[in-house]
Structure 1
Amino acid sequence: MANRLAAVIALIPVFWTLTQGADVTESEVSSLAGVSVKLTCAIGQGCPDVHSMRWYKNEERVFVLSPRANISRAENSLVSRAVLDFKKGASDAYLVIDKVELRDEGLYKCDITYIAITDRCNAVNYINFTTLVKPENITVYDGDVIIPEGKYDRVFTEDDDVTLTCIGGRGKPVPSVQWWKDGVLYNANTAIEERDESGVGTGTNRLKFQVTRADLNVKYECRVYHPALDNYISSSTQLEVNVRPNRLVLSGVEHHVVQGTTVLLKCEVFGARPPANVKWFNATMLLAPEQNSTRLNELPERRPLTKLIDNQTTFASYSNEGDGTY
């Protein structure tokens, strides 16, 4: 009887899943939704044969492998969408998930059981798997009006209040949206994130400021950053800004003048866009147009312009007001 019992015991194989003292590997993997992804279960070199391998997503078992029982089966949420790339003696096995869905995101665990005791091989692998949705577009608004890429047709005036709103397309995780001013990150803004239950959402960044002379020729650029993008996507614009003159220089007479002579008075107006409208008055009387000549200096496009008006006046024509104010 004892011999028969010993024989029965000898036929029962012993399998080991080493979670204490065995190597545990951890990794991070991300993938776009809708494509295939491969999750790696590291086994090791020179390990005993694998008796079984079980894959879990969070607490749910999603795949089971038993080479001796000829079982290789996807379960639960991965039924019909997953296969296991496993070869006897290989140092790695791969869980291949087809057509990744947003719900596939989670902490995956690969639990290995060997046919012999070993402390040289991995028993547990943890893979933190993140699903991604790539934002495809970017939209910039001035109030409720969409601003096209490049030059904006609306003309602003110095001291106008402006609100520029940039919205990054729907993505997972929510895209990061930033405003840049002439290549420098602009921090005076408000960022907002909105997402649904699946984690897909839009990023919004609202920029409020008062138009000044410093906004001439400035490029405002909205950038959208996302892990699924090789580089950021952006939309930029330059504002059309009208500004007041910031300097006036009057010249032509340094000392007294003699009645009946001709003098040249010059009025230079700087920094206006569009050019300032300059007129000459003798006291309260507007001088005739033929007594004025106008010249606009040439400056780069969209810079403030200067308007020069030369005035030639014969004081004999205004003998009673020759010392008036011009």
Structure 2
Amino acid sequence: MCGNVHSMKWSKGFKRLFIYSEDPYVENAEGSFLGRTIFHYSNETKNSTLEVFPMRIEDEGEYSCEITFFNAHEGCAMVQYVNLTIQAIPSYPQLSFEDGSRVQNATTVGPFDEAEVLILNCESSGGKPVAQVTWYNGTHPIAGAWGRIKEKRTGVVSYAGVLCSLWISNVLFVVCEVRMCVCVCV
């Protein structure tokens, strides 16, 4: 046994985020953890848990927990590391015309003149990993739809556009789908 714990310090990089001490008693969240933590410690088992909620994408990274004992000896693990990976659900798709004006979900647009070109955009943000955005005509993917991932001040955005040449014979029922792919390699 390593003896009684004097203090525990949780950090991300060089920024301290949480400190606990028994003597004098201190239990304090700092920085981005302020108001988002619950700490549990058992003096009998020496187990501790730091709960952080709600999780944020920017919480991802490597954390260290530095433990200081009153009477430590050489075999005591003083610093432990953990790498935290965050997954986040993307935002609901936002539809817009080429000029940027919004299209409400389940909206019928038109009428359009024959041979007119309609450009619709669909974007989703906040997903981690980045969401895949796909256009469908009914249940079939639309050939020629384009997509890209772009950085915005608010984060990464998945973006897809579709260009439809409108003819009397091709009344369209277009759907934009946002899909998050989580891949596990074994």
**What is the CA-CA distance between 1:172 and the residue it aligns to?**
5.4
Q: Secondary structure at the match of 1:124?
A: strand
Structure 1 distance, partners of 2:100, 2:19, is: 55
**Aligned partner (choices 70, 80, 84) of residue 128 of structure 1:** 84
Tell me: higher relative CO, structure 1 or 2? Use CA pairs within 8 A at least 6 residues apart: 2
Q: Percent identity?
A: 16
Distance 1:186 1:92, change over 3 A: farther
The AA in structure 2 aligned to 1:139 is: L
Residue segments in structure 2 that go unaligned for 5+ positions in a row: 182-186
Q: What are the Cα deviations for residues 143-174 of structure 1, in whole angstroms up to 9, with x where unaligned? A: 566545154332452x4433222233x53556
Give TM-score, length-normalised by structure 2: 0.64
- Structure with a larger share of its residues in helix: 1
Once the two structures are TM-superposed, the CA of residue 222 in structure 1 deviates from its matched residue by 0.5
Mapped pair 1:203 → 2:158: yes
Matched, 1:107 2:107: no
Contact 2:88–2:126 under 8 Å retained in 1? yes
**Mapping of residues 233-248 of structure 1, within 5 Å:** none
The CA distance in 2 between the partners of 1:126 and 1:215, in whole Å, is 55
- Residue matched to 2:173: 219
1:79 deviates by 4.8
User: Are the equivalent residues in 2 in contact too, given 1:177–1:222 (CA < 8 A)?
Assistant: yes
**Contact in 2 for aligned 1:141/1:147 (Cα 8 Å):** yes
Output the aligned Cα RMSD: 4.0
Whether 1:61 and 2:16 are equivalent positions in the alignment is yes
For the residue of structure 2 that corresponds to 1:153, the secondary structure is coil
Find out whether 1:153 has 2:107 as its counterpart.
no
State the AA in 2 paired with 1:182: G
Counterpart pick for 1:167 among 111, 118, 123: 123
Larger Rg: 1
Paired residues of 2:64 and 2:79 also in contact (CA < 8 A): no
Report the counterpart of residue 184 of structure 2 in structure 1.
none
Amino acid at match of 2:173: K
Letter in 2 for 1:219: F
Residue 138 (1) aligns with residue 89 (2): no
- Structure 1: runs of 5+ lacking an equivalent: 1-46, 228-326
